[in-house]
Structure 1
């Protein structure tokens, strides 16, 4: 019987697969990729975990869960969303099945069809591995996200993106051609079946950004393009005319991005375009955030931030921001003219297309037995590893209409001019990072051409603890969400950001119709996904300290930290905002 086989599959894979699904005799727990607390700081305990290696085993796993009346979530090896879409339960209970695609990643399943210029790929392969395999075939994906530790299924399911207003735009989901999805079925059908959705169908527009609530993806087919090169230049400018410059940049350069150091009144333009293969250059891009660090160094960096933040040392943060923006063109900002020599000699940096797509590497340290055998302080980790006392962030990523970006920039400038040093902390982690998206036909995609505006700032490891510049971060977050009706990135953001999602996406009602068709009993849904999609419940939780945790927007003092001098106040520029502030 296939369910007996599944039990064997379950037990064997506990020893064969390293992933963020951790199991022991008492059950399993799903970790997020930070290896730290979920946004609600409640663990995700689950009943069972499965690690299928192919579509047939995935079918069996879904059938087992449906027959057993268990909620189901599908996760990848290393990069579950920061939000709780990956958890099958609310966190206050234990239950549900997690299916990990960590082993559903066979290279032999990747098929490049050069006549149709498509690639079919299994759901669990790491994005970086897929990109490299495609390069060996002389093709590339059109768009990817920045980190190569995600799976292609997870990338599109949460609306992952690069940056472009050209062609179909920066959304990775815009280049999907078809998907095979395992969905629940009747007893007569074996409790699970495979459906194929393709371009042109209503189900396809739902599946492109699905949040994992439609079923388990078993195969994705993307459009690809012939290999070219790219030429990249980073340029620093005064932000006096950024309200106009941000759009001109995107119109003139295919893969443009902006890093706005608002506290320093400067911005860095990424001037990024395709180049012919005949142009000399073997350059590449790295991102320090995604590289391995020794655990002791990650801890030391975090402790330095904590010490400066504890006393409100804006001088420290402003100095870091100033040094970063003033040296980016001389140091290369993560670009190398020669990848092998790791050498930067100046812009432009020219190299093969895929060398400027997803970057990373730190995720591999967690499956390296030699590294894991080292003493904890000597191990290599990702810099955000919570267990290693790494970085921990207040993270915002919200898309607003292109037509609103100029006014948003003016609002932030006004906030900056009231107290420039209060924005320095934002400029030490990511800056205000601007990327570009086209309006989408995906039902949970952006309704208009948009700019995704992202920032990360300090967050206390302890629950309910404010940061010194809490009010600045909250006011910018609320400007994006409420004044400009921004759509939150489904894989990032704090829980309260997901209320009223129906007003911010292309067509929520059609998405819910597709969900009822593919999974009428809601086996792939959870309390959290139901609250986000407006089915029942709310992503907002009002309780003491909830605003500091991103569970609510404050409406009374207890939502902040009145015992520590933080009260609920109006915003300084956006007066409708309600922020936790220590202003007198």
Structure 2
């Protein structure tokens, strides 16, 4: 089962050359990762200005928003205390200027950090990065909103405490990850979303002139507005401090188990209840599922493992550039045979255990046992000393390296088996298409998220799906088998009523999404009270929240860019053989598909 057609076909000389090049690159990349270079140029500041702190632009860590526009702002401020933060908000509010918050690395794909126009103010939380207090007895930590997750979990561990859950990438700030509802994976207890552990916020909002144009609102665990503020897209104000409920320091035991797909549809609804930190990785090109057996163990359990996920390690920039060049060649001029052959070769050269190690250096076998703060998240490519871009994170926009789309959406757990069955059916129609459609290094990552009281959180237990896939640097250029991801996304959001991740996705995924949040009206009422003039709102957030307009942009090739769902061939790339067609499994989908697929 799962044998691809390329194994039965003779490759052309060009395809053989492409495959040899990819094999060579995979080998060198593996050596580079194993060496774990001491240096790594950290990602650049997402805000750049031509005149000190004036005449600025803001972007995200990938150097490009989903619509490829450049976001301008009149100025940026870098408050380092709450008092300075209040002054910054007051100055902008008194002038009726729009404001948006930018974080240290700015990881959201959508335009959440863009105030719109060119007269707005960017408030960077880069210098709001300190621990305010740790109460070991009450198991509480209070930090400033610009503290990155890496520093937060290390500070907690130093006090003998653990943050129970977090995203897998530790370059996010606590304020940023809360604003977008970022999460790890888990259904036990309060679940895998970080905002479920928030028991207090201090948030700065606009205020009337008689109150100095800005005020600090303190929201405790029982405050009725906390459910609006702890997942807010940044539209109710700027968070100054966050208080989180922690737990006594613990260890985890991790084993990745590779299995076939025979019971995938049944397991998806159950796996998250069997293991505290369970997740699943579906690799459709290889007909397999990798199950993460991940549970808490006592701190006395032997082991000092590290969760150094390979995607987040530093890589020599020359290799990143070379790898991207080959990827572009395979995407734009390759065949399914060549793409699948290259992916098969890459799969044989992956680091064991996805880069997790038993001692921080090497993998010697399962289980991998280590302290929570060393297992739960990683991101060593932001840790090394500056090395003049000899190495970097794979997505650093200063080099011509990785350039990807990241889709993320959740489907209710009760509907997950049917959704998985539909994806399997889609794959079975043309398995080789998935080689070009998805980033084959991982596959589809499925994480569990528990129902939340947050107004913009999940309203029922869900499975969250993460997909990485190729993005061209040329506007409107299709990628191979673009219809695969388009149909999966539309299936999840349309047929199964899924919810897009607030910090990921292309524009069309957000169209009408707010209507699927039962408590959206409560959120909008709090927003109106906290910021009646909409100074922390933008055209983008108004569109996403259903206040005014739509995030869709209807123009030629808009569906290729994910700015719309196609309704006309011109929304695809007819000159290159991509036309608007019905979905193959979800017939209500409208996808850009090449002529050869029909």
* Structure 1 length-normalised TM: 0.92
Matches of 1:571 and 1:362, distance apart in 2: 39
Matches of 2:430 and 2:317, distance apart in 1: 35
Tell me by how many angstroms 1:319 deviates: 3.8
- The answer on 1:390 being equivalent to 2:401 is yes
Q: Structure 1 residues 137, 316: CA separation in 2 closer, same or farther (over 3 Å shift)?
A: farther
Matches of 1:489 and 1:96, distance apart in 2: 26
Q: Corresponding residue for 1:226? A: 248
Q: Corresponding residue for 2:309? A: 287
Between 1:243-252 and 1:56-65, the stretch displaced more is: 243-252
Q: Aligned with 2:268: secondary structure?
A: helix
Q: Corresponding residue for 2:364? A: 345
Aligned counterpart for 1:458 among listed residues 444, 449, 470: 470
CA offsets, 1:346-385, max 9 Å, x none?
11111111111121022346xx5x523xxxxx52221012
Q: Corresponding residue for 2:119? A: 95
Q: Corresponding residue for 2:411? A: 400
Q: Aligned with 1:412: secondary structure?
A: helix
CA offsets, 1:271-305, max 9 Å, x none?
00001111111111111211112221111111111
Tell me by how many angstroms 1:504 deviates: 2.3
Question: Contact between 2:556 and 2:572, CA under 8 Å: does it hold in 1?
Answer: yes
CA offsets, 1:25-47, max 9 Å, x none?
2611112111x221111101100
Matches of 2:341 and 2:303, distance apart in 1: 34
Question: Contact between 1:177 and 1:221, CA under 8 Å: does it hold in 2?
Answer: yes
The ranges of structure 1 where at least 4 consecutive aligned residues each deviate by more than 6 angstroms after the TM superposition are none
Q: Corresponding residue for 1:356? A: 375
* Structure 2 length-normalised TM: 0.90
Question: Contact between 1:49 and 1:98, CA under 8 Å: does it hold in 2?
Answer: yes
Aligned counterpart for 1:543 among listed residues 534, 545, 555: 555
CA offsets, 1:244-269, max 9 Å, x none?
11233211100001000112110101
Matches of 1:315 and 1:305, distance apart in 2: 14
Q: Corresponding residue for 2:35? A: none
Matches of 2:126 and 2:514, distance apart in 1: 32
Question: Contact between 2:514 and 2:544, CA under 8 Å: does it hold in 1?
Answer: no
Kindly report which structure 2 residues correspond to 1:55-66, keeping only aligned pairs within 5 A, or say none.
55-66=82-93
Q: Corresponding residue for 1:53? A: 80
CA offsets, 1:432-463, max 9 Å, x none?
11000111110001111000011111111110
Tell me by how many angstroms 1:326 deviates: 6.2
CA offsets, 1:108-141, max 9 Å, x none?
x2x1112321110101111101111111111011
Q: Aligned with 1:333: secondary structure?
A: helix
Q: Corresponding residue for 1:318? A: 340
Aligned counterpart for 2:542 among listed residues 530, 539, 554: 530
Q: Which runs of 5+ in 1 are unaligned?
A: 1-16, 373-377
Between 1:316-325 and 1:560-569, the stretch displaced more is: 316-325
Q: Corresponding residue for 2:57? A: 29
Tell me by how many angstroms 1:308 deviates: 1.2
Q: Structure 1 residues 69, 382: CA separation in 2 closer, same or farther (over 3 Å shift)?
A: same
CA offsets, 1:457-514, max 9 Å, x none?
1111110011121111111111111111110000000011111122322411000000
Aligned counterpart for 1:411 among listed residues 409, 418, 422: 422
Matches of 2:324 and 2:347, distance apart in 1: 21
Tell me by how many angstroms 1:19 deviates: 2.2
Aligned counterpart for 1:577 among listed residues 580, 589, 597: 589
Matches of 1:143 and 1:551, distance apart in 2: 33
Question: Contact between 2:136 and 2:160, CA under 8 Å: does it hold in 1?
Answer: no
CA offsets, 1:380-422, max 9 Å, x none?
2210123311111132100010011111111111111111111
- The answer on 1:209 being equivalent to 2:231 is yes
Q: Corresponding residue for 2:128? A: 104
- The answer on 1:20 being equivalent to 2:46 is yes
Tell me by how many angstroms 1:427 deviates: 5.0
Kindly report which structure 2 residues correspond to 1:136-155, keeping only aligned pairs within 5 A, or say none.
136-155=158-177
Q: Aligned with 1:47: secondary structure?
A: strand
Matches of 1:521 and 1:262, distance apart in 2: 48
